[in-house]
Amino acid sequence: MMTASEIRQHFLDFFQSKGHTIVSSAPIVVKNDPTLLFTNAGMNQFKDYFLGNKKAPYNRVADTQKCLRVSGKHNDLEEVGVDTYHHTMFEMLGNWSFGDPENAVAGYFKSEAIAWSWELLTEIYKIDKERLYVTVFEGDVKENIPASSIALAEWKKIVAEDHIVYGNKKDNFWEMGDTGPCGPCTEIHVDCRSAEERNKIPGRELVNKDHPQVIEIWNNVFIQYNRKKDGTLEPLPAKHVDTGMGFERLVRVLQNKQSNYDTDVFSGTIEAIEKISGQKYQALDDKESIAFRVLADHIRAISFTIADGQLPSNTGAGYVIRRILRRAVRYYYSYLHYKQPLLFQLVPVIAKQFEKVFPELNQQTDFVGKVIKEEEDAFLRTLDKGLKKIDGIIDQAKEAKKQIISGTDAFELLDTFGFPIDLTRLIAQENNLSVDEEGFENEMKIQKERSRAATALDTEDWQTINEGNSNGFTGYNELEIESKILKLRKVKGKGKELYQIVLEKTPFYAESGGQIGDTGTLTINNQVINIIDTKKENDLIIHFTENIPSQLHGDVKVSVNKDRRKSISIHHSVTHLMHAALRNVLGNHVSQKGSLVNEEQLRFDFSHFAKVSDDELSRVEKMVNQKIRENIPVVIQSMNKEDAIAMGAMALFGEKYSDTVRVVVMDPNYSIELCGGSHVGNTGEIGFFKIKHESAVAAGVRRIEAVSGKAAEMLIMEQSEELKSINDLLKNPKNLSKAIENLQAENNSLAKRIEALEAHQLVGVRNELLQKDLVINQVNFIGEIVEVPSADALKKLCFDIKHHLTNHLIVLCSNIGGKAYVAVGVSESAITSKNLDASKIIKEIVGPAIIGGGGGQKTLATAGGQETGNFQKIIANIKSLL
């Protein structure tokens, strides 16, 4: 039996023998593509070749690609692990031909692709031909697309006719999206059923019918059309082959297993889970078995994504990772009854298994494991809090004699406290309650619609202005050039309307590698248009404007905002100096995990497992400033990737580098980095470097924010001015912080003394008032106008008197700052014997008389108002109640 690694290797060797270049997998996390968070197919990294944005360096390519799918018609996250053949992360084996209109013999098309796929499956992998079925596009009358006659003819040469199935547009016409490259495809399916079953129903009747044993393993797409926004198709000048074969499925077929999880792709992980949890994997449909499959699947997705630089977070791609991880935690928590972090223990197993194919994980097992453990801990804490909340909800439901947890409550538990709905269901069941599923779904629907409406984006078709290739970026050396507008389109979203413009060549740096996009102007025919941002879509540089020039053809002058670019370059260059200094001071485990460079500051995230101490920060600052003063020339050169790595250049995990890389050197013994950003000519231009802030972003990741150049100057100026004015206020003391400490202490003790004095004063007033005590019908009555400093003191005074009189009614009035304040106190005994109520007295008698209002308890109530002339009347009125 072939092992999984042998199967993978045979694929790559086979296509190498057919003239293909083997390339490495692109990172699983996608950057610079607004339509995609993760690589979800082998062709993603070649998208620009299909779109015609870029020319392919090789015409024939093959690889195995890490892919991630968590949504889509056939792969909902909630389904993974329930069956035995869907995955979040999977490997896609693929071979490609990139057509070249000028060199017809370079690539290949339908006949070769079909012949080779058959050869590989039947001769190398030795799959029984009787078990294989192929599908061919039958054509579409409505869209006027002809049937695939060439593909059919090719298949007929090698496959029996009753093994050819015709497919409609849904199954046999592939599209990249609503618009863009597309074309017919031909699929290869395998029938893995027993001989007996195959005799009963022929396999061809089960193709594309979602039968778990009759499955598609390979799809060959022939890209020959471009779909425009109005829905029409136009033929492409260059035709391409794009194929994809699910690796895990292929292994299952070749190893003759019932389930992907029984192959050696997953068996090692499952054994490890058995060892940790002390339970045995049964390969059934029960919750325990599902839990095993969920863990074995999810840990791969989580580990490789983090290794490629995407940390779990509460937004975007990071949130998808968090969700996958939490789903795994839920399963071991509920069904394997394991209540501590588990997943992180599997990282070394996966890392070892993929050491040769995807080494990026094995190179950082510690880091990935720590990040995962921290996430697991955090979620277990969230679960704890949610458990408390749901207890309260259940108590309430029981008290109200309800059998049901409302949809709103269930939704609130999820939405606000992150408590998963399946756990709510489980706990409800244990308490003989059910969950209002309809209400919950409804709330969920409302939330989804709201989010969708907020991000709706309407993109129109590109409008071609001038023919030509966009051949790129000139802005490393020139910031102002003459160019031409190639194409533009309108984009609507969030109530704003923007235009995207592509230029023949441009000095504008598009946001990437953490460096923010340039701004500037575009001038045509004396009309000046502001360029407000520059971004990349794959490798296409797109300029954003709020309006378009009235004349579009002809030469345009484009110029970058130079001052802003200078500040950005300063911050980018100093980031390199700081990165090197961090490695010097903290150690070589420091590696970049993210960065943001703009004109105002730099932000740098890096792996490090402890807080960076003040001392270490100041050593970093000193080292960087030393390097600035050395005024080192910044040397930038292009070279072969291998040579650059050999030179000691730092490459980042999760970055896709081409064979020729740009290397930025600031003193060959100090800092060498692969980098596409803009830089200063000499480090002296940076001027000065100052760290503003150090903080944590995730387990094992620290963040430093710092400034240089003008921004640093501004910061220091502001700080020293602030310091000066503080010094002035304190009459330039010898020791500033000591002086402030003294002030604070003095302020504290003065406040205490005032409090004591006021209390003492009130004692005097209280004693005077006690002298004026009248006994009316066995109740002690005190009704007086007093002078007190505050409404609070009036209340205190009232309490104080209450403590000295048992059976009482007290009315205290005071004019404080021109406003009327009244407090009424009644003893418990008077409440019952005389049917008195302080709050009622305040509301009915006092409130109207002082033109105000108030309230409180039966025993003590207070009021405030505008009218201070009616105090005697109020006292008399209340007295008469006795």
Partner RNA sequence: GGGGAAUUAGCUCAGUUGGCUAGAGCGCUUGCAUGGCAUGCAAGAGGUCACCGGUUCGACUCCGGUAUUCUCCA
Q: Provide, rounded to whole angstroms, the least separation between the CB of residue 452 and RNA.
A: 5
Q: Quick one: 789 exposed, middle or buried, by C-beta within 10 A (0-12, 13-18, 19+)?
A: middle
Stretch that binds RNA, among 188-196, 232-240, 246-254, 854-862 (CB under 7 A): 854-862
Q: Give residue for tokens 């801990």.
A: 377
> Binding RNA by CB under 7 A: which of 195, 454, 588, 760?
454
Q: Is-contact 172 136, C-beta < 8 A?
A: yes
Q: Provide, rounded to whole angstroms, the least separation between the CB of residue 778 and RNA.
A: 24
Does 853 contact RNA by CB under 7 A? yes
Size of the site for RNA (CB under 7 A): 46
Stretch that binds RNA, among 84-92, 163-171, 412-420, 527-535 (CB under 7 A): 412-420
Residue number with CB closer to RNA (577 or 798): 798
Does 306 contact RNA by CB under 7 A? no
Does 858 contact RNA by CB under 7 A? no
Stretch that binds RNA, among 173-181, 452-460, 480-488, 775-783 (CB under 7 A): 452-460
Does 864 contact RNA by CB under 7 A? yes
> Binding RNA by CB under 7 A: which of 149, 258, 434, 451?
451
Does 416 contact RNA by CB under 7 A? yes
Does 298 contact RNA by CB under 7 A? no
Helix (H, G, I), strand (E, B) or coil at 514: coil
> Binding RNA by CB under 7 A: which of 95, 484, 852, 875?
852
Residue number with CB closer to RNA (342 or 661): 342
φ, ψ (nearest 5 deg) of residue 133? -130, 145
Stretch that binds RNA, among 103-111, 216-224, 316-324, 517-525 (CB under 7 A): 316-324
Does 765 contact RNA by CB under 7 A? no
Copy the structure tokens of residue 505. 């060549």
> Binding RNA by CB under 7 A: which of 378, 529, 580, 586?
378
Compute the distance between CA of residue 13 and CA of residue 62 in angstroms, rounded to an integer: 10
Helix (H, G, I), strand (E, B) or coil at 462: coil
Q: Is-contact 319 366, C-beta < 8 A?
A: no
Does 414 contact RNA by CB under 7 A? yes
Copy the structure tokens of residue 173. 């016409």
Residue 351 exposure: Cα atoms within 13 Å on the Cβ side: 19
- Mark 277-312 as b/e (b = at least 16 C-beta within 10 Å): bebebeeeeeebbbbbbbbbbbbbbbbbbbbbbbbb
Residue number with CB closer to RNA (209 or 388): 388
Compute the distance between CA of residue 683 and CA of residue 580 in angstroms, rounded to an integer: 14
> Binding RNA by CB under 7 A: which of 267, 363, 382, 815?
382
Stretch that binds RNA, among 114-122, 409-417, 545-553, 619-627 (CB under 7 A): 409-417
Compute the distance between CA of residue 223 and CA of residue 240 in angstroms, rounded to an integer: 5
Does 400 contact RNA by CB under 7 A? no
Distance, C-alpha 735 to centroid of its chain: 47
> Binding RNA by CB under 7 A: which of 156, 157, 385, 622?
385
Compute the distance between CA of residue 386 and CA of residue 412 in angstroms, rounded to an integer: 10
543-550: long-range pairs with CB below 8 Å, 24+: 543/500, 543/501, 543/502, 543/503, 543/506, 543/508, 544/498, 544/499, 544/500, 544/501, 545/498, 545/499, 545/501, 546/497, 546/498, 546/499, 547/499, 548/488, 548/499, 548/501, 549/522, 549/524, 549/525, 550/525
Helix (H, G, I), strand (E, B) or coil at 306: helix
φ, ψ (nearest 5 deg) of residue 11? -60, -50
Copy the structure tokens of residue 872. 């005697």
What are 227's strand-pairing partners? 180, 233
Residue number with CB closer to RNA (478 or 792): 792
Does 795 contact RNA by CB under 7 A? yes
Q: Which of residues 131-160 bind RNA (CB under 7 A)?
A: none
Does 351 contact RNA by CB under 7 A? no
Does 418 contact RNA by CB under 7 A? yes
φ, ψ (nearest 5 deg) of residue 679? -135, 165
Q: Provide, rounded to whole angstroms, the least separation between the CB of residue 415 and RNA.
A: 4
Residue number with CB closer to RNA (340 or 857): 857
Q: Which of residues 797-816 bind RNA (CB under 7 A)?
A: 799-800, 803
Residue number with CB closer to RNA (203 or 312): 312
Q: Give residue for tokens 């406290």.
A: 417
Compute the distance between CA of residue 781 and CA of residue 775 in angstroms, rounded to an integer: 6
Q: Give residue for tokens 């039996």.
A: 1
Residues with Cβ within 8 Å of residue 156, at least 6 apart in sequence: 164
Does 323 contact RNA by CB under 7 A? yes
Q: Where are the beta strands (DSSP E) in 600-687?
A: 602-607, 634-640, 660-666, 671-674
Residue number with CB closer to RNA (223 or 797): 797
Copy the structure tokens of residue 250. 């292929």
Residue 683 exposure: Cα atoms within 13 Å on the Cβ side: 25
Q: Provide, rounded to whole angstroms, the least separation between the CB of residue 344 and RNA.
A: 17
Does 193 contact RNA by CB under 7 A? no
Q: Provide, rounded to whole angstroms, the least separation between the CB of residue 339 and RNA.
A: 17
> Binding RNA by CB under 7 A: which of 83, 415, 563, 643?
415
Helix (H, G, I), strand (E, B) or coil at 622: helix
Stretch that binds RNA, among 449-457, 509-517, 592-600, 762-770 (CB under 7 A): 449-457
- Interior CA angle at 119 toward 9 and 151, to 5°? 125
Residue number with CB closer to RNA (613 or 857): 857
> Binding RNA by CB under 7 A: which of 319, 640, 732, 872?
319
Q: Provide, rounded to whole angstroms, the least separation between the CB of residue 850 and RNA.
A: 8
Does 855 contact RNA by CB under 7 A? yes
Does 854 contact RNA by CB under 7 A? yes
> Binding RNA by CB under 7 A: which of 11, 98, 379, 509?
379
Does 860 contact RNA by CB under 7 A? yes
Q: Where are the beta strands (DSSP E) in 683-805?
A: 689-698, 701-708, 774-776, 779-785
Q: Provide, rounded to whole angstroms, the least separation between the CB of residue 822 and RNA.
A: 9
Residue number with CB closer to RNA (600 or 713): 600
Q: Is-contact 496 521, C-beta < 8 A?
A: no
Does 34 contact RNA by CB under 7 A? no
Q: Which of residues 490-549 bind RNA (CB under 7 A)?
A: 494
Q: Provide, rounded to whole angstroms, the least separation between the CB of residue 855 and RNA.
A: 2
Q: Provide, rounded to whole angstroms, the least separation between the CB of residue 291 and RNA.
A: 19
Q: Provide, rounded to whole angstroms, the least separation between the CB of residue 62 and RNA.
A: 33
Does 700 contact RNA by CB under 7 A? no
> Binding RNA by CB under 7 A: which of 55, 280, 352, 448?
448
Residues lying near RNA in the complex (CB under 7 A): 314-316, 319, 322-323, 326, 378-379, 382, 385, 412, 414-418, 444, 447-448, 450-452, 454-455, 494, 791, 795-796, 799-800, 803, 819, 821, 852-857, 860-865
